[in-house]
Structure 1
Amino acid sequence: MRNSNLSLFNKFVCHLTFISLCCFALASHAKEMYSNTTQATITTNFGIIELDLFKDRVPVTVANFIRYANEGFYNNTIFHRVIPNFMVQGGGFDQKMRRKPVSSPIKNEANSLIPNLRGTIAMARTNDPHSATSQFFINVKDNMQLNKSGHNAGYAVFGKVTKGLEIADKISKVATKSDGYMRDIPVDTIIIQSITITEPSSEPESPAPTAKQ
């Protein structure tokens, strides 16, 4: 009798485990289908880099990046500055190293609570804190010296890589050259073929209940 009860108990546990795994799989699938995060896909001749954008935390910066992307500005631009164990920078020059015309600069939304960690994407700028336009960089290591502090305006992080960070790592290690005042230019052109934006999708609402007749 005890063996029979034990067998029934084991079957019950196995059945419960199976149901739990199915529920977890369905929840994971639903999360993928109904993302609440704005995402960007950077397609390059080295591979694809996918990112989540911090739209709620740095709205001006993300809106600026999305506008350039949706206008096709980044299509066939390049990563023009790459430094191993630091970052890869692009989004401002075409394949002939000609600077592209840009819109007005945006305010610097650098935030000490959103640090320049490995895998984050941030706005490039000049020494003027509020000079960022189209150019961005992906950190391939933790770059704490770029964070906002009491004596540093910082560089505004506006997203993080979710897939393809190894592509940024690979880009950062290519052979480079100098051209006039510009350094760290890849010898072989690294093309940003496109940047596409995926806005959040919402789970369809269930139909409202109706009174039974």
Structure 2
Amino acid sequence: MTAIIVLLVLGISLLAFLSVKSNLFNRLSPNSDSMGTKVEIRTSQGTITVALFDVQAPQTVENFLKYVKDGYYDGLIFHRVIDGFMIQGGGFYSGMRQKTGEYPPVVNEASKSGLKNERYTLAMARTMDPNSATSQFFINTANNTFLNPGGNDAYGYAVFGKVLEGSDRVDKISKVETHSVGFYDDVPVEDVVIESIKIIK
């Protein structure tokens, strides 16, 4: 009888554990409700599908989508690529011809969103001014904890999306050969073009 009770308790505990684990997985899953608008980044190295954190980073997502809807990113390049760190784009054409942002800088939501600069997340690039982000973004190719609030500075870099499909393309881009062009370092020798960014859901 005692053995039956022990087994019953163990069974209930196991079910409870699996339930908690399942709920946690659902919260963290890229397909969970925490992920909102999906966009497709078509590049010369293949397509990357991204889900945006509409709820956690609403102002950052709204800013990014304004540029997407305007077709602003079409024809720009990933102009800064550092293997083991990130790939950055959204501000330059081939030859490092700069394209300035069309809208005012967005407020940095890094501190209040709770999102971290983990591998394959998208975040806004900025200057030393924490509220200076406009159009440029980067995709983390490592868990860059020093970019989170309280890391290298108190403000952090605002994460607003995560790669759902095409992480292999991100890795491929991160491995391209780079050189210096004028004052700019880590520029791909062969252009990695952002052909288009489109909303798909």
**Which TM-score band applies after superposition, normalised by the shorter structure?**
0.7 to 0.9
Q: What RMSD in Å do the two structures reach over aligned CA positions?
A: 1.9
Paired residues in the alignment total 167
Question: After superposition, what is the alpha-carbon deviation per residue over 1:103-155, rounded to whole angstroms, capped at 9, x for unaligned?
Answer: 21111111372100001000000111000000000001100000012852100
DSSP-derived class of the 1:128 partner:
coil
Question: After superposition, what is the alpha-carbon deviation per residue over 1:71-96, rounded to whole angstroms, capped at 9, x for unaligned?
Answer: 00000000000000000000111123
1:108 maps to 108
Q: Report how far residue 51 of structure 1 moved.
A: 0.7
2:23 maps to none
CA distance in 1, matches of 2:98, 2:60: 21
Q: Report how far residue 181 of structure 1 moved.
A: 1.7
Given residue 173 of structure 2, which amino acid in structure 1 is its aligned partner?
A: I
CA distance in 2, matches of 1:147, 1:57: 15
CA distance in 2, matches of 1:37, 1:54: 6
1:148 maps to 149
CA distance in 1, matches of 2:84, 2:157: 17
DSSP-derived class of the 2:98 partner:
coil
Q: Report how far residue 197 of structure 1 moved.
A: 1.1
Question: After superposition, what is the alpha-carbon deviation per residue over 1:9-31, rounded to whole angstroms, capped at 9, x for unaligned?
Answer: xxxxxxxxxxxxxxxxxxxxxxx
Task: Please say if 1:171 is aligned against 2:170.
Answer: no
2:130 maps to 129
What does 1:1-213 align with in structure 2 at a 5 Å threshold? 37-102=36-101, 103-111=103-111, 113-149=114-150, 151-199=153-201
Q: Report how far residue 164 of structure 1 moved.
A: 0.3
Q: Which deviates the most, 99-108 or 152-161? A: 99-108
CA distance in 2, matches of 1:61, 1:174: 29
Question: After superposition, what is the alpha-carbon deviation per residue over 1:31-85, rounded to whole angstroms, capped at 9, x for unaligned?
Answer: x9xxx72101100010000011001111110001101011000000000000000
Structure possessing the higher radius of gyration over alpha carbons: 1
Given residue 93 of structure 1, which amino acid in structure 2 is its aligned partner?
A: F
Runs of 4+ residues over 4 Å off in structure 1: none
Gap regions ≥5 residues in structure 1? 1-31, 200-213
Q: Give TM-score scaled by structure 2 length.
A: 0.79
Given residue 104 of structure 1, which amino acid in structure 2 is its aligned partner?
A: P
CA distance in 2, matches of 1:71, 1:192: 14
Contact 2:178/2:188 (8 A) holds in 1: yes
CA distance in 1, matches of 2:81, 2:95: 17
Among all aligned residue pairs of Structure 1 and Structure 2, give the percentage whose two residues are the same amino acid. Answer: 50
Gap regions ≥5 residues in structure 2? 1-30
DSSP-derived class of the 1:114 partner:
coil
Q: Give TM-score scaled by structure 1 length.
A: 0.74
